């Protein structure tokens, strides 16, 4: 692995740890040339189903896009990174367990909504208001009333 700081090809693994769920390995590396340390993550190369958009386009699943959606809904909310990582992992497990080659973006959106509802009620409402495209205040109020129950 090349050093991200000086691009030298000689780096050594200083420490390796398996994640709590066992889904990836975190490796601390040190450059043999400049001495700087950096972290790499090793995860299995898995084929996720393609996401079928509402307009029929097919796009590859993108973990960073899923994470960004959750982060946006959870912005300035008291939810820690580990909880978000766990939510992303849960959604990815559902994607893999579905056993299909393509999945509708609406199905993925519903899984995100379920995870957000468990993590934070405000984040759930934020995401639902955009995802479900509320047209008026009554639809928003109905979603809030649903949370209260």
Q: Which residue has the tokens 């008291």?
A: 78
Q: How high is the mean pLDDT of the chain?
A: 88
> CB under 8 Å to 53, separation ≥6 — which residues?
59, 105
User: Does the pTM of the predicted model rise above 0.85?
Assistant: no
pLDDT in tens, 87-105: 999 999 999 988 899 999 9
The number of residues making up the chain comes to 149
Distance CA 116, CA 78 (A): 13
Residue 43: its pLDDT value, please? Answer: 82
Convert 67-98 to b/e letters by CB count within 10 Å (16 or more is b): eebbbebbeeeebeeebbbebbbebbeebeee
């Amino acid at each position: 692995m090349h050093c991200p700081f000086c691009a030298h090809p000689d780096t050594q693994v200083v420490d390796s740890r398996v994640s709590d769920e066992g889904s990836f390995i975190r490796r601390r590396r040190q450059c043999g040339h400049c001495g700087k340390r950096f972290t790499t993550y090793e995860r299995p190369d898995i084929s996720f189903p393609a996401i079928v958009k509402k307009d029929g386009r097919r796009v590859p699943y993108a973990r960073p896009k899923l994470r960004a959606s959750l982060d946006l809904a959870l912005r300035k909310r008291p939810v820690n990174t580990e909880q978000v990582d766990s939510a992303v992992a849960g959604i990815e497990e559902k994607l893999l367990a579905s056993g299909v080659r393509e999945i509708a973006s609406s199905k993925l959106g519903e899984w995100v909504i379920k995870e957000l509802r468990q993590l934070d009620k405000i984040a759930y409402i934020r995401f639902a208001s955009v995802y479900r495209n509320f047209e008026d205040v009554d639809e928003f109020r109905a979603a809030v009333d649903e949370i209260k129950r």
